[in-house]
Structure 1
Amino acid sequence: MQQKLIYILFILASVISYGQVNLFMESDKAEYNGKDIVNLTIVLELNGIDLEPQTRFQLPDLSKFNIIGSGSMTNTLIDPATNTLVTQKISRIALEPKKKGKIKIGSVLVTVNNKIYKTEPFDISIKDIIEKRSLAGNSGEVYLNMEIEDREVYQDQPTVAVLKVYSKNMDNFRKVKDVRLPHQNNINVHPISFSKSEIDPAGSMASQVLAVFMVFPNEAGYVEVPSVSASVSSFSNKNKIVSNKVKLNVKKLPEGSPEYFKNAVGNFSVDVYNASKEKIEIEKPIHVIVKVSGEGNLPNMQLPKIVSSSDYEVFAPKITSKVAPGTTGMKGEILANYVIIPKKAGVISIQTEPFAFFDPASREYVDKGQETLALNAFSHDQILEARTTVEKVNEYTNTLLETVDTPVLKTTTFKVKEKSKFHWNILLTNISILVGLFIMYLLFKTWQKKRALVKETATPKPLGSVAETEKEIREILKTDINDYFSYLENLKDNEEYQKFFDTLEEMDLDIRKQYSKSSPQDFGQFLVSYKGTSVAEEYRILLQRIQMEKYSPLKSAEGMDELLKAVVNLYSRISK
């Protein structure tokens, strides 16, 4: 009977050991400094082949920490004493504390064979999390602390950082100046505000917000934001203080991105339009704007470019930005101003590169595709034929005013701009100017006759035709080419660029009138036979260069100097 009892006890012991479950959690130590990482280790032991966890580890509330890393592993072995299978599931979690003081770590739960197991809660102690650095030569201590609430973001997604200054002596807050934000290749930093907040006296030390800025990490993995520095000035010296460093867990963007996706993260829209108001003429530059608007990493993203084509020639754009801090990134618009020269008449289709971005809110890629701008280009003859009678009268008046203009008498200010509707005031003004010029001409001829009669008696000359009259006026008021050069030099030095290019057009028209050529195309063909092919090609390239500089939104002094030298060199050779 005693032997049977011992046998039964052995069987019960083997059954109990066969189905044993052990779950526990521990930290690497009980007290931590503000810079230390809290390492938690969770171990689940299953003794038996029929034991299988039905859930993952259910972690306790860790809102008082930043999770900066985690990992897990599984070990399997056979216990030689009991000849049973033992499975170990081990997980480690790395935490960064947000607050100081005593913090309770709750229980971890797991379900095994329809039964819930949990660990025992325990406490850890966190010392002051502010990185204290003594300020030599100052009456009190001043510390900087950089706080980033959201430390887990996607690549190129922003997170907001707040820089605070701490001190027991409130008089030190007014001495903190010259805040310098961090700079590093794997992050882009954009300031939000440098306005100081009200002083918060709560806690053992008073605090004040010095700056708020956005951090855009541009690579995945653990990215460390460098320290922010500032200076504390006193009557005797000036000291430098630095803040703590903060680690970010930057998640890699999901798989399945479009092949033309670059680095746009946020929510954006693309628009392309023609900024030039005049009719589009071949071989004449126009301005096409590619606008990207929205909110995200606007200042650092790669913009979609205009695709090259044989129908037009495209030049590198000038980028202008209008951005301001938003709630989920930098908000506003980026404008890429392209100079495009059409190469053929008819319909021209201008296309941008395909564009896609990643939206962190929906965690999906958004494909915007290509944007297309259809333009209708005309030849020079087509534009001339499409003009109305009133427009031709205005053009004749403008030509006459340009002919008699000098750098001293700026009659080109009376030039008539083309309008889409008829204006009686413009027509009456043109007629008044013509009548006034004709009366001035008659008075001038009368004065000439009286002066001639004083010296000698001569046969009066016939009045002549209108063409002869205009020729005489041009000969009388003809300006030497060197006068134009001197006037252009003065306008360039005074940065009066609009008048500079208006005078260039007047000089070019005056030179063409000398050879009885009305359009630049006719004059270019004339130069081929008169001066040779190289001079004609140089004239055509110079006209294009003048147009590009005229409509360029930004003009440099060096570029204007080079342009004036090219003008003087060419027109000195082709002028009579």
Structure 2
Amino acid sequence: MQYRLAYILSILISVISYGQVNITVTPDKYEYSGKDIVNLTIALEIIGSEYTQQTPLRSPDFSKFNIIGSGSLNNGFMDPETNTAITQYVTRLALEPKQKGKIKIGSFLVTINNRIYKTEPFDILIKDVERKPVASNTSNDVYLNMEIEDREVYQDQPTIAVLRVYSKNIDNFRKVKDIRLPEQDNISVHSVNYQKSEIDPSGYGNMASQVLAMFMVFPNEAGYVEVPAVSASVNSYTNKNRIVSNKVKLNVKKLPEGSPEYFKNAVGNFNVSVYNASKEKVEVKKPINVVVKVTGEGNLSDMELPKIESSPDYEVFAPKIMSTVAPGTTGIKGEILANFVVIPKKQGLISIKTEQFAFFNPESKEYVDLGQETLSLNALSHEQILESRTTAERVNEYTNNFLETVDTPVLKTTSFKVKEKSKFHWNILLTNIGILLGLFVIYLLFKTWQKRRRLLVKETIAPKPLGSVAETENEIRESLKTDINDYFTYLNNLKNNNDYDKFFETVDEMDAEVRGQYYQSSSEDFRKFLENYKGSSVAEEYRTLSQRIQIEKYAPVKSAEGIEDLFKAVVNLYSQISK
């Protein structure tokens, strides 16, 4: 009997150890101060190949925290001793507490083989929390708020920040001036625009709001980086006050390992080229201009540019930097030109090489190695330069030398110096102007003849009967009716050209004209008109589309897909209204 009991126990132990699921959650500590970040590690271990995870890991209620970062990894291997498949999932969460005191962390849930597994809840203690109101205020009840939606970025990768002002008194918005962006050693800030948006009456805490500025923040170190407050002045007739916004913490991810050894700090998507900007032939011991051109989008204004490598074949000097950049969707885009002065030291073929260059692409999350760019030049001696000149160039040179050195008292011969590079012909310009004037006169004569002919035709046509008042009103309405298809075609062109500002301006103009067809001055009156004559569904669709247009209009970053969907909705609704 004892042997049977031991046999049964051994079988049960082997079955239990063969397959099982373990899920645990571990904080880095249980007591935090107000400035600390709560780091949670959730580990899920599945032992056995017969287990199938049916749902992703479900988190508890984190309404008392701001989730500022997350990451996960998985690993699978086979235990050689038991020949059992083991799968491990590890998830990290970074939380910012909103309140102090004892806070309960609930259970994490996961469903495996139709069974729910969960972690045990536990408590953490927050000793004190840094209060973060919407903004600091003045006696005029004006608030500033800095909003950063994407708070988890790579090092040297930008994130968009939006500065918004709040107040119950709309008149205070025009008093806010002199906006000063944050400055700090571990971040770089570039303004996007300072265009004020339209006033939104439904802001935070029943206050109206308005967007004051948008800017890009480039963190240049990994870890938790705090973006300092933005300040502005509120000017009135009696005094001048300064207000500051809230601070925002960023979770800056470290760039992945495995970067090329010559990688510096370029993050984005770039191209490098090199060319000779000097038009003259390359001569030994004579300077030439070699330009290293970097184009793309990313931290273009802050990254280290590739230089020209030193060589015994030439001498290179510090470059002059010229840039043409503008804010883009994923960073600063444009081009930067590094103009180097290079002096060849030897005769013959010379290879001018740039430094090796690599960058990190955040979209593909990998490093891109562009290597070196090479410019091959053939340096000639002074004698070879003279021999390579054409007969006309030699005659011009001899004539210029003679006229520069000999000046007779009768005739100032230096005025007859040959200008080799002068190619502008005034006769051709005057001829072209005359042809254009002639065509313009012909066009005016044609329009005058056409206008006289139209008047003669009108006089020969008998006048139509006046008709009733209702008929006359219908005729006037038909004459005022807008050809809505012309607006649709124009909006489609603006959408394809990514001219979103003009797109929304045209939508507002089209809406005003369509409302004018029905003698409705405001959007609210027009909605009521549509509800009475087109039905409640069309009126509700008009109201929803108007709100959607305002949201897309003032979005910090506009996507082509969102504008495409908005364009289709506009065409669908206004086609029904204008029938």
Q: TM-score, normalised by structure 1?
A: 0.56
Q: One-letter code of the match for 1:133?
A: S
Q: 2:305 aligns with which of 291, 296, 303?
A: 303
Aligned to 1:320: 322
Following superposition of structure 1 onto structure 2, how do residues 160-559 of structure 1 map, counting pairs within 5 Å? Answer: 160-203=160-203, 204-404=206-406, 414-418=416-420
Aligned to 2:57: 58
The Cα of 1:130 is off from its aligned counterpart by 3.7
Alpha-carbon displacement from aligned partner over 1:232-280 (angstroms, at most 9, x marks no partner): 0011111000000000000000011011100000000001000000111
The Cα of 1:127 is off from its aligned counterpart by 13
Q: In 1, are the aligned partners of 2:135 and 2:145 still within 8 Å (CA)?
A: no
Call closer, same or farther: CA 1:412–1:160 in 2, change over 3 Å: farther
Call closer, same or farther: CA 1:280–1:239 in 2, change over 3 Å: same
Aligned to 2:483: none
Q: In 1, are the aligned partners of 2:24 and 2:44 still within 8 Å (CA)?
A: no
The Cα of 1:310 is off from its aligned counterpart by 1.1
Q: One-letter code of the match for 1:193?
A: N
The Cα of 1:70 is off from its aligned counterpart by 6.9
Aligned to 1:134: 137
Q: In 2, are the aligned partners of 1:69 and 1:94 still within 8 Å (CA)?
A: yes
The Cα of 1:396 is off from its aligned counterpart by 1.3
The Cα of 1:23 is off from its aligned counterpart by 8.5
- Match of 1:143, SS? strand
Aligned length, in residue pairs: 377
The Cα of 1:113 is off from its aligned counterpart by 7.9
Q: Give, in whole Å, the separation in 1 of the partners of 2:315 and 2:43.
A: 69
Q: In 2, are the aligned partners of 1:173 and 1:208 still within 8 Å (CA)?
A: yes
The Cα of 1:109 is off from its aligned counterpart by 1.3
- Match of 2:153, SS? strand
Aligned to 1:502: none
Question: Unpaired segments of 5 or more residues in structure 1?
Answer: 1-10, 28-34, 73-88, 99-103, 426-576
Q: Give, in whole Å, the separation in 1 of the partners of 2:107 and 2:407.
A: 93
Structure 1 or 2, whichever has the larger Rg, is 1
Aligned to 2:533: none
Q: One-letter code of the match for 1:205?
A: M
- Match of 1:255, SS? coil
The Cα of 1:61 is off from its aligned counterpart by 8.4
Q: Give, in whole Å, the separation in 2 of the partners of 1:60 and 1:143.
A: 34
Q: Give, in whole Å, the separation in 2 of the partners of 1:71 and 1:282.
A: 58
Q: Give, in whole Å, the separation in 2 of the partners of 1:261 and 1:93.
A: 30
Q: Give, in whole Å, the separation in 2 of the partners of 1:410 and 1:334.
A: 47
Q: Give, in whole Å, the separation in 1 of the partners of 2:421 and 2:137.
A: 73
Q: Which moved more, 1:180-189 or 1:194-203?
A: 194-203
Question: Unpaired segments of 5 or more residues in structure 2?
Answer: 1-8, 28-33, 73-88, 99-103, 122-128, 428-579
Alpha-carbon displacement from aligned partner over 1:75-97 (angstroms, at most 9, x marks no partner): xxxxxxxxxxxxxx999844358
The Cα of 1:134 is off from its aligned counterpart by 3.3
Q: In 2, are the aligned partners of 1:148 and 1:160 still within 8 Å (CA)?
A: yes
Q: In 2, are the aligned partners of 1:25 and 1:40 still within 8 Å (CA)?
A: no
Alpha-carbon displacement from aligned partner over 1:11-65 (angstroms, at most 9, x marks no partner): 9xxx9xx9999989999xxxxxxx998969799999xx99x99869813388987
Call closer, same or farther: CA 1:142–1:379 in 2, change over 3 Å: same
Aligned to 1:518: none
Q: One-letter code of the match for 1:268?
A: F
Aligned to 1:516: none
The Cα of 1:106 is off from its aligned counterpart by 8.9
Alpha-carbon displacement from aligned partner over 1:377-433 (angstroms, at most 9, x marks no partner): 111111111222221111111112211469xx9976654354799x9x9xxxxxxxx
Q: TM-score, normalised by structure 2?
A: 0.56
Aligned to 2:155: 155
Q: Give, in whole Å, the separation in 2 of the partners of 1:371 and 1:143.
A: 52
